[in-house]
Structure 1
Amino acid sequence: MPRLCVAVGIWLGGGRPVQIEPGDAPGAAGFDGVVITGGHDVDPVLYAQESKVLPHYDPDRDAFESAVIDDALARGLPLLGICRGAQLLNVRLGGDLHQDLRSRRRRTSNRRTIFPMKTLLIEAGTRLFGLFGLYQTRINSLHNQSIDALGRGLVVSGRDLDGIVQAVEHPAERFLIGVQWHPEFLLHSREQRGLFTALVSAAAARAAGPELRDAADRETSAGA
């Protein structure tokens, strides 16, 4: 269901979703942008830590999606990381994770839900703020890990009421955003659909050439 909803989000944003799986060469499908979706916890071996919780890892998926992210970064492809995808993006850039959030909760619940029950505080001046045009909004929560130390070049663009990182981005890249929530379950929201629209616009502009790339940069910065 999550992957179907992601595909719908891409389609609503004007793109054509293409799914790739372990065994596929990262660049073989000829795609112009990447979404790394949610799923199992990221294995802490990838950021040089030992497991502190009951493991729910998928080493094959970790390896495959790590290769996809590395390929996207090397080629400058627009990328949206969702939940696990945001965490893995951070790890590939040299960051690490909190393995269990329960002890870090003070003001917010650790309840997992697809409904927008949690407050997101958005940092002014970030690309996420430009897209949403809001200082705060409501998001869902299905995760038990989160970003701790930031990866190279990443900045925090959103936190929840406990200060836990909910969104990161790379200001020097055309479109490189990771969100801890699941926008694919919130497609009724213009702002959440806008994440997919902005990704598709950046991907289309990259494929089309420099003039459209510059136009897409201006559009994303303006939050159109």
Structure 2
Amino acid sequence: MARPLIGITTSDDKSQLSWFFDWFAVWRQGGQPLRLSPSRSFPVRLDGLIIGGGDDIHASLYGGDVVPDVRLDPARDRLELALLQQFIPRNCPVLGICRGAQMINVFFGGTLYGDIYISHEGLIPRRTVLPRKYVGICSGSRLRRILGVTWCRVNSLHHQAVQETGRGIAVVARDRHGLVQAIESLDHQFILGVQWHPEWLVWNRPQQRLIRALIRASSS
């Protein structure tokens, strides 16, 4: 049986180590990873799509205020919006990771906090690939059924976050500060975004179930 083709968006300058974790997460669960970045040709066919982590989304796309001294990648913004525009109407399964969850929300008309450490006073900056943050998963959600847990401990590498949800988007996980940690579409079979990086949690069974769920949805 052929492996489903899973596109994974990245920046042009993403490190080989980070790409390896993306590649391995998909390959391990039975998918065929395909790197997508602004300088690479646009795919005609995909069975599934991962909008990956990376630089900030430009504030002009969601009506926010520009935060100084952050890295932006407008070409990647355009690529990801074009991919979502092309493949969502085809019922292509989509998983958003960190920036990717935010981009899904923006695509459906939602907004973001440009910097949670400015909008939420008292937050302690936390940037680590290790699972140090506790997240509660909403009952009755697709994410809860996939992970099979009521809460999980995840990593944290972001300073943007979902603020107002877009059309048909539901919040399905929050951290202890009430910040959105996962979203999913109520109108599509598989459009889901998580604020953490499951590809780095290679020994965490619930997080591997998330990648596996995307591959299985892409195989049907």
The TM tier, using the shorter chain, reads: 0.7 to 0.9
**Residue among 125, 149, 156 paired with 1:110:** 125
Give the gaps of 5 or more residues in structure 1. Answer: 206-224
1:1-150 → structure 2 map (5 Å cutoff): 1-24=17-40, 26-28=42-44, 30-103=45-118, 104=120, 106=122, 109-150=124-165
1:156, distance to aligned residue in structure 2 (A): 0.6
Two-structure CA RMSD over aligned residues (Å):
1.4
1:27, distance to aligned residue in structure 2 (A): 3.8
Q: Give CA-to-partner distance per residue, 1:175-206, whole Å, 9 cap, x none.
A: 1100000000002111111111100100110x
SS at match of 1:17: strand
Choose between structure 1 and 2: higher helix proportion.
1
Choose between structure 1 and 2: higher strand proportion.
2
Give the gaps of 5 or more residues in structure 2. Answer: 1-16
Q: 1:89 to 1:26 in 2, by over 3 A?
A: farther
Aligned identity (percent) is 38
What TM-score results when the alignment is normalised by the length of structure 1? 0.86
In the other structure, the counterpart of 2:11 is none
SS at match of 2:144: helix
SS at match of 2:25: helix
Q: Please tell me the residue identity of whatever aligns with 2:50.
A: V
Measure the CA separation in 2 of the matches of 1:31 and 1:176: 15
Measure the CA separation in 1 of the matches of 2:35 and 2:160: 25
What TM-score results when the alignment is normalised by the length of structure 2? 0.88
Q: Which runs of 4+ in 1 moved over 6 A?
A: none
